[in-house]
């Protein structure tokens, strides 16, 4: 299921490759991303895609792009604009629900709080923070 939300020039595209009722909704994602952008008003890249995947897809992407053959909580793929092309795309986040749910349970925190952490963490990576 794909949904998109535009608020004050911020565009969040939510994609779910899994059928999971506990995934954050578009309003939550937009709020969390907006909070990061509120602290970085000079960053003009305001479009992001957040995709929720299963462990298999997460592991494949983690192996292919990071050389780590295991699923992970969040992967960040910054958009690299071709020379001379100015687009407002920040990039893509890929979040593995199973990993995030296991971590939240193990850490004794609400799943929603851990999702907020993963989204903010991933957005900061897309902005160039390590």
- pLDDT higher than threshold 80 for residue 124: yes
Per-residue HEC secondary structure of 20-41 comes to: CCCCCCHHHHHHHHHHHHHCCC
Pair of tokens at residue 96:
């593995």
- pLDDT higher than threshold 80 for residue 43: no
Residue 99 near residue 125 (C-beta atoms within 8 A)? no
**pLDDT bucket at 40, cuts 50 / 70 / 90:** confident
Task: Give one DSSP letter per residue of the chain, joined into a string.
Answer: -EEEEEETTEEEEEEESS--TTSPPHHHHHHHHHHHHHT-TT----EEEEEEE-HHHHHHHHHHHHS--S--SEEEEE--PPTT----EEEEEEEEHHHHHHHHHHHT--HHHHHHHHHHHHHHHHTT--
pLDDT, residue 3, reads 56
- pLDDT higher than threshold 90 for residue 84: no
d(CA 70, CA 50): 20
């Amino acid at each position: 299921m794909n949904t998109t939300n535009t608020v004050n020039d911020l565009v969040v595209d939510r994609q779910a490759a899994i059928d999971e009722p506990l995934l954050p909704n578009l309003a939550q994602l937009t709020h969390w991303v907006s909070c990061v952008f509120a602290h970085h008003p000079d960053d003009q890249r305001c479009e992001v895609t957040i995709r929720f995947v299963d462990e298999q897809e997460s592991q494949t992407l983690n192996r292919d792009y990071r050389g780590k053959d295991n699923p992970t909580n969040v992967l960040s793929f910054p958009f690299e604009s071709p020379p001379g092309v100015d687009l407002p795309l920040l990039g893509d986040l890929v979040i593995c629900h199973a990993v995030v749910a296991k971590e939240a349970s193990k850490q004794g925190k609400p799943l929603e709080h851990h999702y907020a952490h993963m989204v903010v963490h991933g957005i900061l990576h897309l902005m160039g923070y390590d």
